[in-house]
Structure 1
């Protein structure tokens, strides 16, 4: 699908955000693959996309141009038990996030991440994790603004030899209670901001 660059008549705030549905595969899977492959360090086969979208489509969201419905952004997530913790936790995972280069810097990625976190939270996720290249400063800032913490450096993690950070957002504390407080915009609050 052709990308329509932003203009005064198509402000990013007017984008249409939808939850992925299997009926959208024919229309959007090629565009999802093309958008993600532009920025990721790993070449994914179509089976990787289908693995996530078939099982966890309800945790994946698309940002679409309001008039053409071209794909502008996408987040692909999953949610599974994580048995290495005792007791086992329900771990959300942000596998892929991409926004078309002409639309970056307008909060689209932040909106998609918040939608993914909310969908996982509604399904009782204890935490959300992801990996991002250590050189991807904009991504690191985005996730850290949303309350993610660096938990581990993964040396030579990607096929291209780049290292990554694993980031974690704790949604519940050890007692299983919600661990984060958020402001009206969905931003994580610091302890001194909580009244």
Structure 2
């Protein structure tokens, strides 16, 4: 497939798998490569390992079963957030990337939904993320899934670009 060329349809047997530590050697280089192409922030291998070691069960990959190639990935975490009273369990979508030739087929939506479902299963109260204001495709994706803009973060990224913080409330805040 030529660079930048999009596929007409997804492989019918595309697999979505939960990350497992046994997959690190096979997939960590591909995860880093895919994410570094899409996200404006440079991350060291230690950042990836931190997320994948502690919250691998919340991270999902889209894999072409014929080639075992990584097509998409979502990397997340779940922690107690102390600034709310009472404290809440907050999910965080740290990184999402889909190979450019596979975009437009719902892979990112499926990956994010799987991550949200895994966070719900672990009793998360909310899920947050940041995305660049200029990333209209990501904004549409997250807003379709019910995320709301909660804050504009000026010059948030190292590049100086501005971000929105998006929040998906999973439980009523009325206590």
Report the CA distance shift for 1:135/1:10 in structure 2 as closer, same or farther (over 3 A): closer
- Displacement of 1:8 in angstroms is 7.8
Matches of 2:167 and 2:55 in 1, distance apart?
A: 20
Instruction: After superposition, give the CA deviation of every residue in 1:50-73 in whole Å (9 maximum; x if it has no partner).
Output: 000000000000000121110000
Which residue in the other structure is 1:110 paired with? 109
Residue 49 (structure 2) pairs with residue 50 (structure 1): yes
Instruction: After superposition, give the CA deviation of every residue in 1:78-125 in whole Å (9 maximum; x if it has no partner).
Output: 000000000000000000000000000000000000000000000000
Alignment of 1:13-162 (within 5 A): 13-162=12-161
The DSSP-based 3-state class of the residue aligned with 2:158 is coil
7-16 vs 156-165, which moves further: 7-16
CA contact (8 A) 2:130 2:165 kept: yes
- Displacement of 1:11 in angstroms is 2.1
- Over the residues paired in the alignment, what is the CA RMSD in angstroms? 2.1
Residue 152 (structure 2) pairs with residue 166 (structure 1): no
The DSSP-based 3-state class of the residue aligned with 1:14 is coil
Q: Which has the higher contact order (CA 8 A, sep 6+)?
A: 2
The DSSP-based 3-state class of the residue aligned with 1:24 is helix
Q: TM-score, normalised by structure 1?
A: 0.85
Which residue in the other structure is 1:183 paired with? none
The DSSP-based 3-state class of the residue aligned with 1:34 is helix
Consecutive unaligned residues in structure 1, runs of 5 or more: 177-195
Consecutive unaligned residues in structure 2, runs of 5 or more: none
Runs of 4+ in structure 1 displaced over 6 angstroms? Answer: 2-10
CA contact (8 A) 2:72 2:97 kept: yes
* Larger strand proportion of the pair: 2
Matches of 2:15 and 2:114 in 1, distance apart?
A: 13
Q: TM-score, normalised by structure 2?
A: 0.94
Instruction: After superposition, give the CA deviation of every residue in 1:163-193 in whole Å (9 maximum; x if it has no partner).
Output: 00000000000245xxxxxxxxxxxxxxxxx
